Structure 1
Amino acid sequence: MNFEIIFVLLALVGMITALIWDGLRPGMVLLTVVVLFLCVGILTPKEMLEGFSNRGMITVGMLFLVSEGIRQSGALGQLIKKLLPEGKTTVFKAQFRMLPPIAFISAFLNNTPVVVIFAPIIKRWAESVKLPATKFLIPLSYVTILGGICTLIGTSTNLVVHGMILEAGYEGFTMFELGKVGIFIALAGIIYLFIFSNKLLPDSRTDRYEEEEEDGNPGNLHRVEAVLGSRFPGINKTLGEFNFTRHYGAIVKEVKSGGQRFTRDLDKVTLHEGDTLVLWADDTFVPTWGESSVFLLLANGTDGTEPVSRTKRWLALGLLIFMIVGATVGELPAVKEAFPEIRLDMFFFVCITTIIMAWTKIFPPKKYTKYISWDILITIACAFAISKAMENSG
Structure 2
Amino acid sequence: MTTDIWIVTCILLATIIAFVLDCFRMDLVAFVSMLTLLLTGILSPAEATAGFSNSLVLMIAGLFVVGGAILESGVADVAGRWLGRLGGTSTTRLTVAVMLASALLSAFLSSTGTVAVMLPVVLSLCRGAEVSPSKLLIPLAFAASLGGMLTLIGTPPNMVVNQELRGAGLETFQFFSFAPAGLLMLALGIVFMCTLGTRLLPAQATTPAVAGRNQGLVSRPELIHSYGVDGQICEIRIPRGSNFAERTLRELGLRSTFHVNVLAVSTPDKFRSRVRSATVRKCSPETLLHVGDTLFIKSANEEAIAKLIREGQVEMVTTSASLPKVVHLAELIIPPRSKFVARTVRDLDFFRVYGAVVLALRKGNQPVSTRTSDTPLHPGDTLLVAANASALKRLGKSRNDVLLVSEQAEEGDAPLKPVAYWVIGILVGMLIAMSTGLSENVTAVLVAATLMVIAGAFRGTNAYQSINWQSIVLIASVMPLATALDKTGAFDLVVDAIVESPGLTSPWILLLLLFVVTSVLSQAISNTATSVLIAPLALELAAQLDVSPYPLLMGVALAASTAFSTPVASPINALVAGAGSYRFGDFLRVGIPLQLLILIATIAIVPLLFPFSP
What TM-score, normalized to structure 1? 0.83
| 8 Å Cα contact 1:228/1:296 also seen in 2 | yes
Tell me whether 130-139 or 156-165 shows the greater mean CA deviation. Answer: 130-139
Distance 2:444 2:115 in 1: 25
Match for residue 278 of structure 1? Answer: 383
**What is the CA deviation profile of residues 4-44 of structure 1, one whole-angstrom value per residue up to 9, with x for unaligned ones?**
22222222222122222323211110110111111110010
> Aligned partners of 2:98 and 2:72: how far apart in 1?
21
User: Is the 1:116–1:297 Cα contact (8 Å) retained in structure 2?
Assistant: yes
Letter in structure 2 aligned against 1:278: L
Per-residue CA deviation, residues 17-74 of structure 1 (Å, 9 max, x unaligned), is 2222323211110110111111110010000111112222211111111111111222
Is the alpha carbon distance of 1:70 and 1:288 closer, same or farther for their aligned partners in structure 2, counting shifts above 3 Å? closer
Q: Which has the higher contact order (CA 8 A, sep 6+)?
A: 1
Please give the alpha-carbon distance, in whole angstroms, between the structure 2 residues aligned to 1:155 and 1:184.
17
Tell me which residue corresponds to 2:45. Answer: 45
Which residue in the other structure is 2:72 paired with? 72
* Corresponding residue of 2:474: 379
Q: Is the 8 A contact 2:74 2:417 kept in 1?
A: no
Give identity over the alignment, percent: 24
Q: Say whether residues 1:300 and 2:301 are aligned partners.
A: no
- Per-residue deviation at 1:91? 0.9
Deviation of 1:217 after TM superposition, in Å, equals: 5.2
Distance 1:176 1:86 in 2: 26
C-alpha distance in 1, partners of 2:380/2:197? 24
Structure 2 residue identity aligned to 1:281: A
| 8 Å Cα contact 2:86-2:97 kept in structure 1 | no
Cα–Cα, structure 1 residues 363 and 63, in superposed 2: closer, same or farther, change >3 Å?
Answer: same
Q: Is 2:174 the counterpart of 1:193?
A: no
> Structure 1 residue 316 and structure 2 residue 411: aligned?
no
Give the whole-Å Cα distance in 2 for the aligned partners of 1:10 and 1:327: 40
Distance in 2 between residues matched to 1:217 and 1:360, nearest whole Å:
48
How far apart, CA to CA, are the structure 2 residues paired with 1:229 and 1:101? 22
Q: Map Cα deviations across residues 132-169 of structure 1 (whole Å, 9 max, x no partner).
A: 33322221111111111121111011112222321232
164 and 366 in structure 1: CA distance in 2 versus 1, 3 angstrom threshold: same
1:44 to 1:88, Cα distance in 2 relative to 1, 3 A = closer
- How far apart are the structure 1 equivalents of 2:383 and 2:206? 15
Q: Is the 8 A contact 2:334 2:341 kept in 1?
A: no
Report what 2:332 is aligned to.
225
**After the TM superposition, which of the residue ranges 32-41 and 132-141 deviates more from structure 2?**
132-141
User: CA separation in 1, counterparts of 2:399 and 2:95?
Assistant: 32
- How many residues end up aligned between the 2 structures? 378
Tell me the secondary structure at the aligned position of residue 154 of structure 1: coil
Aligned pair in 2 of structure 1 residues 261, 380: CA closer, same or farther (>3 Å)? farther
**Unmatched 5+ stretches in structure 1:** 336-343
Residue aligned with 1:295, SS: coil
The code of the aligned residue for 2:387 comes to D
Give the superposition deviation at 1:95. 2.6
Answer with 280-289 or 143-152: which moved more: 280-289
Deviation for aligned residue 1:96: 3.0
Aligned to 1:95: 95
Retained in 2: the 8 A contact 1:83–1:97? Answer: yes
Mapping of residues 239-258 of structure 1, within 5 Å: 250-251=357-358, 253-256=360-363
- Structure showing greater radius of gyration is 2
Equivalent of 1:348, from 414, 424, 443?
Answer: 443
Q: Deviations over 1:249-289 (max 9, x none)?
A: 53363353xx78573786885444x3424233322543344
DSSP 3-state at the match of 1:177: coil
Distance in 1 separating the partners of 2:480 and 2:112: 27
Aligned to 1:7: 7
Q: What residue number does 1:131 align with? A: 131
* Worse overlay, 4-13 or 297-306: 297-306
Q: Spell out, residue by residue over 1:172-217, the C-alpha distance to the aligned partner (whole angstroms, 9 max, x if none).
A: 2111112232221121111111213432242445755755256645
Take 2:127 and 2:69, find their aligned partners in 1: how far apart are those partners?
A: 29
- The amino acid that maps onto 1:286 is L
Which of 455, 462, 476 is residue 360 of structure 1 equivalent to?
A: 455
Aligned CA distance change for structure 1 residues 97 and 243 (closer, same or farther; 3 Å): closer
Quote the offset at 1:376 in angstroms: 0.7
- Supply the distance in 1 between the matched residues of 2:418 and 2:353 (Cα, whole angstroms): 39
Conserved 8 A contact 2:90-2:129 = no
> Is the contact between residue 289 and residue 295 of structure 1 (CA under 8 Å) also seen in structure 2?
no
- The CA distance in 2 between the partners of 1:239 and 1:27, in whole Å, is 25
